[in-house]
Every structure is written in C-alpha cells, then in structure tokens.
C-alpha cells in the first residue's frame, strides 16, 4: 500500500504458501531480480 500511495507499481511476488496470491508482473520481476543481483555482485567485489 505504501508503494501504491507514492505511485510506484510493486513487482514483489507473494509467498507460495499464500492462499490467495497477489498478482505481479513476471517480466518486471525478472528485470528487477537481475538488477538486484548486479548490485550484490558489485558489493561483493568491493570486499
């Protein structure tokens, strides 16, 4: 709700065990996941 109030469309999937899953955009989630992994790799290289 906080994201939607700011005009941001969330792309966070719900847990598999949730009875009623919250819909999310699979393509946007894949792109977001790649970007997050890229930042994680950059942080690992700084160490």
pLDDT in tens, the chain (47 residues): 788 889 887 777 888 898 988 887 888 888 889 999 999 999 998 87
pLDDT value at residue 36: 92
Domain ranges of the chain: 2-46
Report yes or no: 14 and 24 within 8 Å, Cβ to Cβ: yes
Q: Which residues contact 9 (CB under 8 A, 6 or more apart)?
A: 3, 25, 28
């Amino acid at each position: 709700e906080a994201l939607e109030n700011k005009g941001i469309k969330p792309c966070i999937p719900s847990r598999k065990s949730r009875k009623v899953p919250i819909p999310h955009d699979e393509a946007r989630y894949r792109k977001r996941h790649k970007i997050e992994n890229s930042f994680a790799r950059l942080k690992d290289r700084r160490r």
